[in-house]
Amino acid sequence: MITTKKTLDLLIQLADGLSTQFGNNCEIVIHDLTRKNLDNSIAYIVNGHVSNRKLGDGASAVVIEALKKNPDSLKDELSYLTKTNDGRILKSSTMYIRDEKSQIQYIFSMNYDITGLLGLDSALQSLISTPADAKDKSPKRITNNVNDILDDLIEQSVELIGKPVALMTKDDKVAAIRFLNEAGAFLITKSGDKVSTYFDISKFTLYNYLDAAK
């Protein structure tokens, strides 16, 4: 049976090999879910300058998703776009590494900075594209810590309701909190305090809304 340490050692070997093969624009990140600590899930990282993250930094959105959802429903996500806090665009892939019981132990992510290449692509597309080619390709944001993830999820919940908090009814807030709960927001430490403050409700009311959202 392969031990957890041997699995991590193998992933580190792959990370070093891939980052050397593809150069400084290729970031490799290994999240350790065996630690069960969202605040420092990054167990190994190469070329962290790509997303401005480092060893010991917190979870990303994919980690929150892995902890929230049924592991059996999670599939590797390959070749999608992400965005750093300073606006650079990355081509990313996420792979879930499981043990013999199919439980997710690690998340192996590759993020390749294609910002410079997109400049060339944009110049070509302006010559060859037509209006029918337009598609929504909004990249996901790569976060440095779990508080950034919570901010993003709260923003998404408000967009889902379609009105500012000051105009939300009780049903609106229940719907927003249902979204946050399903997205795994309350796995984040002290998220209840921040959500309560943002939606101008008490912690007691928050718990009641969570019950109503089930």
97-119 pLDDT tens trace: 998 888 899 999 999 999 888 77
In angstroms, the CA 41 to CA 43 distance is 6
Between residues 112 and 124, the one the model is more confident about? 112
| pLDDT averaged over every residue in the chain | 86
Pairing relationship of beta strands 140-141 and 77-83 according to DSSP bridges: parallel
pLDDT digits (tens, 9 = 90+) for 127-167: 666 665 555 556 777 777 788 888 989 999 999 999 888 88
In angstroms, the CA 14 to CA 28 distance is 9
Question: Nearest to residue 58, comparing CAs of 187, 196, 178?
Answer: 187
pLDDT digits (tens, 9 = 90+) for 26-61: 999 999 988 777 888 999 999 999 999 999 898 888
The fold of the 4-117 domain, in CATH, is Beta-Lactamase (3.30.450)
In angstroms, the CA 51 to CA 67 distance is 22
Quote the pLDDT of residue 98: 92
